[in-house]
Structure 1
């Protein structure tokens, strides 16, 4: 794929702003609100968050769309479903 590893300087988060932003989002939106008791639980939580992040969470830089684009509907009732035990909700038209 042509990806090469490049180390950043210690204590220099501005050198890798994209990764720092993602880590901050994961902490604020997910991990700060749950008690993780095992590595297996952490992996499950991170997999669920990755799916939520890509398929349901809106992003300002994508004109409030998701990285995995979804059809835009203007009619129908709006339904809401809890994610992560109610920490977040996914809304969609039915």
Structure 2
């Protein structure tokens, strides 16, 4: 599914275009919950797992936090839909000492073998 500006009003409303022979358009109204489940789920995860636990001092600080969380979310965090793997897969290491790496100032941790 792709989100694109609606052809008639080019304002805040967007239309969801389904891929297929004859694309259909649905209007999403701004600030209305439950209209884009993927975006709502991502925003909820960011709020619950990151922003509810820190105090943001500036826009630059917020951008830094979101960038660190994005790297954690795609590289280390496990996802049930991926059979408890991260979107960026990594090899399984069976031997070695376990090292704990703090992420986002210790809010989350990644455990690796060295």
Q: Quick check: which one's strand share is greater? A: 2
Q: What TM-score, normalized by structure 2, do the two folds share?
A: 0.73
Q: Which has the higher contact order (CA 8 A, sep 6+)?
A: 1
Instruction: Map 1:21-36; keep pairs closer than 5 Å.
Output: 21-36=41-56
Greater Rg by CA: 2
Q: Which runs of 5+ in 2 are unaligned?
A: 6-13, 16-27
Structure with the larger helix share: 1
Q: Check if 1:91 corresponds to 2:96.
A: no
List runs of 5+ in structure 1 lacking aligned partners: none
The size of the alignment, in residue pairs, is 93
- Give 4+ residue runs of structure 1 displaced > 3 Å after superposition: none
TM-score (norm 1): 0.87
